[in-house]
Amino acid sequence: MLAAHALWPIGTLPFVGLLLAIAILPLIPATAHWWHANRNKTIVAGGCAVVALLFIAITENYSSAFHVLSHTLLGEYIPFMVLLGSLYIVAGGIALRGDLSATPRTNTMILTTGALLASVLGTTGASVLLIRLLLDTNRDRTRVAHTVVFFIFLVSNVGGLLLPIGDPPLFLGYLRGVPFFWTLQMWPQWIFTVGLLLAIYFAIDTWMIRHETVEAIRRESKAVHRIHMSGLVNLVWLGGILASVIVLVPGRFFPGTSQEILPFAREGAMCLCAGLSLLTTPHGLRAINKFSWGPILEVAALFIGIFVAMQVPLAVLTERGAELGVTTPSQFFWVTGTLSSFLDNAPTYLVFLTTATSLPPDPNSTMIMLSEGMHVSAPLLAAISLGSVFMGANTYIGNGPNFMVKAMAEEGGVRMPSFFGYMAWSTVVLIPVFILVTLIFEH
């Protein structure tokens, strides 16, 4: 529909403009302080969204613009933000604190734990749970940004590959009929990628700590405390959120009954768990935990614009995706991954999953039955899953937790790389790893 219009390249400009604003405005001295306020981020993101909707209204009709807005808000943005927000609130009430010895071995163990938890707690839950422990552990070191960057790589993205609750694209695949435990078949790719990234991080952090100042090493050696966990009641509410995601799928039936699950029942249950977390968390624990609303509000401000403005580029992909000539697993891996780096990885996953179902069945591959009678080749489904989950780590906007972790680290005093600075890290570290993944696994 939208993509078929001759002026569709113009319709992508609001999305491109928003990406440029996110990348450039923090780097310009005259606008850096202005951009720091979430109110101003909302103005820019909302403005880009309005321009995109006006383009749709002018080139199609106002009904189309209203449909895009309502579908985006009700079907994508609100569920996305409720999931991220509830996990942020509940995990923010669990104080996993301690000032461990900030050695490469300790940091690598924290990253390993986060990668393991990401598939079970979700990348958002695992990120919120462990980022403060990581920041506390490294607060006396002067070189910390690289550790947070690898935290985003491993905990906020790559680690969430093994279960649908790990990362939003996989959850959307589960809603489309992919068996819940099918993603466990990708454990070889998970082990290889996580293991290689941990080895690279260990080597980099070993070099970094050798170049720390004498004063930083002295302070670090004196400030060592054991890990202490508080707010354990939030584990109950965390389990409630995960159960809501798995069980309360709109349009399906409650287990063992003929009662259909109503729209937003899942989101209502997650909001209930978040509210109970706020009520039952011991008084003062969130203050001790340095909990603030800033990071999640920043995600909400930016992604309202991203979700609306990206509808025209996504419509182009939906209508013309088959014209890209993408047919092999390696092609699906790289195209899905590249676009997931700049578009949100969840809708990008759906676009290429739909594209893959339109291809002729491969007699030499196992076919996965999806909902509505569709089938997809297992190697293609794996490539799409790997591309969307892994390459969501390529930029700050590739996956929701990325920006959230960045904001939390900056609130903790860490000077994080700029948009392009982060991409320099991902290009140098991640792209060679993904090339190896392609050569070894994507035939």
Amino acid residing at 337: G
Q: Could you please report the per-residue DSSP string of 388-437?
A: HHHGGGSSTTSSHHHHHHHHHHHHTT-----HHHHHHHHHHHHHHHHHHH
The C-alpha atoms of residue 40 and residue 106 are separated, in whole angstroms, by 38
| Predicted local confidence at residue 275, as pLDDT | 94
Q: Could you please report the per-residue DSSP string of 267-310?
A: HHHHHHHHHHHHHHSPTTHHHHTT--SHHHHHHHHHHHHHHHHT
Amino acid residing at 252: R
Residue 130: strand, helix, or coil: helix
| Predicted local confidence at residue 432, as pLDDT | 96
How many CA atoms, within 13 angstroms, populate the side-chain half-sphere of residue 282? 10
Cβ neighbours, 10 Å, residue 33: 10
Q: Which two tokens stand for residue 139?
A: 């607060």
Distances from the Cα of 121 to the Cα of 79, 89, 223, 238, 366, angstroms: 17, 13, 30, 8, 30
How many CA atoms, within 13 angstroms, populate the side-chain half-sphere of residue 111? 28
Residue 95: strand, helix, or coil: strand
The C-alpha atoms of residue 114 and residue 161 are separated, in whole angstroms, by 13
Q: Which two tokens stand for residue 14?
A: 């609001």
Amino acid residing at 394: N
The C-alpha atoms of residue 245 and residue 261 are separated, in whole angstroms, by 12
| Predicted local confidence at residue 443, as pLDDT | 56
The C-alpha atoms of residue 284 and residue 143 are separated, in whole angstroms, by 30
Burial of 32 (0-12, 13-18, 19+ CB in 10 A): exposed
The C-alpha atoms of residue 150 and residue 156 are separated, in whole angstroms, by 9
| Predicted local confidence at residue 437, as pLDDT | 94
315: nearest Cα among 350, 275, 358: 350
Each of the 443 residues of the chain gets a pLDDT tens digit; together they read 444 455 567 778 888 888 788 778 877 777 878 888 888 889 999 999 999 888 888 887 788 888 888 888 887 788 878 887 888 888 878 877 666 677 889 899 999 999 999 988 788 888 888 888 898 888 878 888 999 999 999 999 999 999 887 887 887 788 777 887 889 999 999 999 999 999 999 999 999 888 776 665 656 555 555 677 778 888 899 889 888 877 777 766 666 666 777 778 888 999 999 999 999 988 777 777 777 787 788 878 888 888 888 888 777 766 666 667 778 889 999 989 998 887 767 777 877 887 787 777 777 778 787 766 677 888 889 999 999 999 999 998 788 788 889 988 988 888 999 888 999 999 999 999 999 999 998 65
Cα dihedral 42/43/48/54 (nearest 10) = 120
Quick one: CA dihedral 222, 224, 225, 231, positive or negative?
positive
Determine contact, residues 82/51, Cβ cutoff 8 Å: no
The C-alpha atoms of residue 376 and residue 365 are separated, in whole angstroms, by 10
